[in-house]
């Protein structure tokens, strides 16, 4: 195991170690997502034709995926003509991403780094996206201003993660779930989450807090999509939410914002 990097914030160093350990489990789902002809989002695999998270015209657009993991979202962007870059905190996840790039003959820059403090110049990108990357593993009060800094005016930020309601009703994510019908923790003040038996740190904030943070960071909020599991949908994440639950309440949410 690599030693913790003393230069990284404590939660980033812990999440690096944790994701390096988990990377092998994500190689196979990553390979399937790379091979998919249409993007499918989140734990229910909702097709892009329904959710429409991507801009219509990506030709020649410089995009950044914040917490790219195995890099399949950036591969989808590359196939639509974009010039993607992926940044991720885990050397092992990036090793999988590099292998998949070679297999598919789609090459784009993969940068090892913290999405809360990236090495990119101001206004470098036209579009930023995170599906369960920075969206839940980075402190929003650090990564949202950073996303604003590296986006050009008019550039969109789209991120997808667990819905606020799920975070209040899930006993302990990935350990004791799934989400039930009782509120188990406070909504006010929600921010940093650590689960028993897990050495990782997640961040989830309420809707009002997201709205204010995005606006204060220079974004106009375009949409908040609360994802409803499609009828008959299945997921390998039934320890987080059952399909029945996710037909009644949002288990995932997508924020869309535009840099002013
Ligand atoms: C669940 S994966 C996201 C990739 C892919 N969309 C997926 O759903 O599998 C989460 C990724 O976030 C990365 N991550 C966690 N903290 C990060 C940070 N501070 N900066 C950049 N990436 C980070 C992890 O290393 C991991 O590869």
Q: Is the pTM of this model over 0.85?
A: yes
Q: Is the pLDDT of residue 4 over 70?
A: no
The alpha carbon of 204 and the centre of ligand 1 are apart by a number of angstroms equal to 15
Predicted local distance difference test score (pLDDT) of residue 198: 78
Q: Is the pLDDT of residue 20 over 80?
A: yes
pLDDT tens readout for residues 47-61 = 999 999 999 999 999
At 244, list the tokens: 């029945």
Predicted local distance difference test score (pLDDT) of residue 3: 55
What are residue 150's phi and psi, to 5 degrees?
Answer: -90, -5
Q: What is the DSSP letter of 206?
A: -
Residues near ligand 1 with C-beta < 6 Å?
12, 15, 19, 26, 67, 69, 73, 87-90, 93, 114-116, 131-134, 137-138
Closest-CA residue, ligand 1 atom 14, reads 67
Q: Is the pLDDT of residue 190 over 50?
A: yes
* Spatial distance between the Cα atoms of 166 and 160, rounded to a whole number of angstroms: 13
Closest-CA residue, ligand 1 atom 3, reads 133
Closest alpha carbon to 158 in 246, 227, 90: 227
**Is the separation of the CB atoms in 84 and 78 below 8 Å?**
yes
Q: How many CB atoms lie within 10 A of CB 163?
A: 23
- Ligand 1 atom closest to Cα of residue 94: 27
Q: What is the DSSP letter of 60?
A: T
């Amino acid at each position: 195991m690599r030693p913790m990097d003393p230069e990284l914030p404590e939660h980033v160093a812990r999440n690096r170690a944790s994701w390096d350990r988990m990377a092998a489990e994500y190689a196979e789902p990553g390979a399937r997502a790379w091979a998919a002809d249409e993007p499918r989002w989140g734990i229910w695999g909702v097709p892009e034709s329904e959710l429409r998270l991507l801009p219509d015209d990506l030709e020649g657009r410089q995009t950044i995926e914040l917490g790219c993991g195995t890099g399949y979202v950036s591969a989808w962007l590359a196939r639509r003509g974009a010039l993607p870059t992926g940044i991720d905190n885990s050397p092992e996840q990036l090793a999988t991403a590099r292998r998949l790039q070679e297999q598919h003959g789609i090459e784009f820059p993969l940068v090892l780094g913290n999405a809360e403090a990236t090495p990119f110049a101001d206004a470098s990108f036209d579009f930023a996206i995170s599906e369960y990357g920075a969206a839940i593993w980075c402190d929003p009060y650090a990564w949202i201003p950073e996303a604003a800094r590296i986006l050009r005016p008019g550039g969109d930020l789209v991120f997808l993660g667990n819905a606020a309601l799920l975070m209040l009703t899930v006993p302990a994510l990935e350990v004791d779930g799934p989400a039930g019908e009782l509120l188990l923790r406070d909504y006010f003040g929600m921010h940093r989450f650590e689960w028993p038996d897990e050495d990782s740190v997640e961040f989830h904030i309420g809707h009002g807090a997201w709205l204010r943070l995005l606006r204060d960071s220079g974004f106009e909020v375009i949409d908040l999509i609360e994802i409803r599991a499609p009828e008959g949908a299945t997921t390998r994440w039934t320890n987080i939410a059952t399909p029945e639950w996710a037909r009644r309440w949002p288990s995932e949410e997508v924020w869309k914002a535009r840099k002013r």
